[in-house]
Amino acid sequence: MYASLKSIGAYAPSRILSNFHLEEMVETSDEWIEKRTGIKERRIASAEEATSDLGVQAALKAIERAGIAKEEIDLIICATLSPDYLCMPSTACVIAGKLDINNVMAFDISAACSGFVYMLSMAKAFIESGMKKNILLIGAEKISSMIDYTDRGTCILFGDGAGAAIIGATENKNEAILDIHASADGRYGDLLITPGCGSKYPCSQETLDNKLNYIKMQGNEVYKVAVKTLTNDVIDILEKNNIDASQVDHFIPHQANFRIIEAVRAKLNFPIEKTVLTVAKYGNTSAASIPMAINDAYEEGRIKKGDLMLLDTFGGGFTWASALVRFGGQ
Ligand code: COA
């Protein structure tokens, strides 16, 4: 019995925040942002939309495309760094409530931008052990709620969105999740951090005045570690599975920065046509980034059943992960 990615869905809020809008907000330019990151615009959720609302829209699509009834779902996991509520209830529980899927295990995981691939490895274990049959995974972010729109080092990078997938069982290895590597190195935690409103610096007027509730990043350092770690990790997973880069049908990296993607792609000699790129239109949507990218390629008709996808991702923690996944959907 293997775990299989049976369907994909995504949702992007309608409001667009372009580089030109940002030019009016901070000292930056469309040219600078595009040259350094490849981002042209990102989506921003409305004041009425919470992370769970984005997740629900993505989940509905994934459930419909899997051809299952929502009552067949027996586990819901949500990866997010911008949950509806800081502690409880979890965003997975809020989503379960909104979808009216009751009496199933539901919880959030915290692995920043690596969240989707991290929970994919958990889903693989739950399915292969026989503990669960149909798992709903949601990567959802209203990351705009964590951004200081006076900080040009971060506000240009991130956007809102959600992606979802149904993971089920298959006996066919040609439709299976083949392997996942997920790892972390906590020594780099301070380079990408939301310091405030947790137990270390509880929410207070001082915390808010010092803007500790927003994402802080040492971009240059993050960039260097990301390129090195991702390249090594992708080479490692291909070698361990005896798969040559030429056998991969779709390289689907975390959409943080075009230059990071390009560095890994060039090192592995992946053709650009096999690389899925959404960074220009969505920016970095953290845990939603990979499922949104898979969904875009799926809706363009690029991904077919049995195609081999190579996923790779990197995020705060630091966390990173890569996966070899044969698409199991229709
Ligand atoms: N517009 C214009 N200038 C900017 C700017 C902006 N939005 N942000 C920074 N700058 C300036 C800096 O102040 C600096 O100016 P100085 O030389 O006068 O001091 C100069 O540009 C270079 O800054 P630096 O931070 O070295 O730029 P960079 O080439 O590293 O690009 C990032 C900055 C953030 C785009 C890049 O480091 C990056 O993408 N890092 C990875 C971040 C990431 O992906 N995080 C999420 C991981 S999941």
pLDDT at residue 264, as a whole number? 93
Residue 312: other Cβ atoms inside 10 A: 26
- Among protein residues, the one with the nearest Cα to ligand 1's atom 12 is 153
For ligand 1, what atom is nearest to the CA of residue 315? 48
pLDDT at residue 195, as a whole number? 97
Percent over 70 (pLDDT), the chain: 100
- Among protein residues, the one with the nearest Cα to ligand 1's atom 9 is 153
Q: 36: Cβ below 6 Å to ligand 1? A: yes
Per-chain mean pLDDT for the chain? 97
The per-residue pLDDT for range 269-287, each reduced to its tens digit, is 899 999 999 999 999 999 9
CA 27/CA 159 separation, integer angstroms: 19
pLDDT at residue 183, as a whole number? 97
- Confidence band, pLDDT 50/70/90 cuts, at residue 235: very high
Q: Is the pTM of this model over 0.85?
A: yes
Domain range 2-171, its CATH number among 3.40.30.10, 3.90.280.10, 3.30.420.40, 3.40.47.10: 3.40.47.10
Q: What is the end-to-end Cα distance of the chain in Å, rounded?
A: 19
- Confidence band, pLDDT 50/70/90 cuts, at residue 319: very high
Tell me which residue has tokens 């005896």.
Answer: 242
Q: For the chain, where do the domains classified as CATH 3.40.47.10 start and end?
A: 2-171, 177-326
Q: Which two tokens stand for residue 31?
A: 């040219």
Cβ neighbours for 112, distance < 8 A, ≥ 6 positions apart:
81, 192, 286, 287, 315, 316, 317, 319
Active site residues: 113, 254, 284
pLDDT at residue 329, as a whole number? 95
Q: Which two tokens stand for residue 138?
A: 């949601």
For ligand 1, what atom is nearest to the CA of residue 154? 34
What's the whole-number mean pLDDT along residues 217-240? 95
Fold assignment, 177-326:
Peroxisomal Thiolase; Chain A, domain 1 (3.40.47)
Burial class (CB in 10 A: 0-12, 13-18, 19+), 308: middle
Distance 153 CA to ligand 1 centre (A): 6
Q: 284: Cβ below 6 Å to ligand 1? A: yes
What's the whole-number mean pLDDT along residues 66-91? 97
The answer, yes or no, to whether the previous bond of 318 is cis (omega within 30 of 0) is yes
Tell me which residue has tokens 């790779």.
Answer: 312
The per-residue pLDDT for range 94-139, each reduced to its tens digit, is 999 999 999 999 999 999 999 999 999 999 999 999 999 999 999 9
The answer to whether the beta carbons of residues 42 and 75 sit under 8 Å apart is no
Distance 221 CA to ligand 1 centre (A): 10
Q: 201: Cβ below 6 Å to ligand 1? A: no
β-partners of residue 310 are 251, 324
pLDDT at residue 160, as a whole number? 98
pLDDT at residue 100, as a whole number? 98
pLDDT at residue 212, as a whole number? 97
Q: Which amino acid is at 263?
A: A
pLDDT at residue 118, as a whole number? 98
For residue 288, what are the CA distances in angstroms to 23, 77, 139, 209? 26, 13, 4, 30
Distance 31 CA to ligand 1 centre (A): 13
What's the whole-number mean pLDDT along residues 163-182? 97
Q: 152: Cβ below 6 Å to ligand 1? A: yes
Q: 229: Cβ below 6 Å to ligand 1? A: no
Tell me which residue has tokens 């149909």.
Answer: 134
Closest CA to 179 of 13, 311, 86, 283: 311
For ligand 1, what atom is nearest to the CA of residue 316? 48
Q: 216: Cβ below 6 Å to ligand 1? A: no
- Per DSSP, the residues of 93-148 read HHHHHHHT--SSEEEEE--GGGHHHHHHHHHHHHHHTTS-S-EEEEEEE-GGGG--
Q: What is the DSSP letter of 201?
A: S
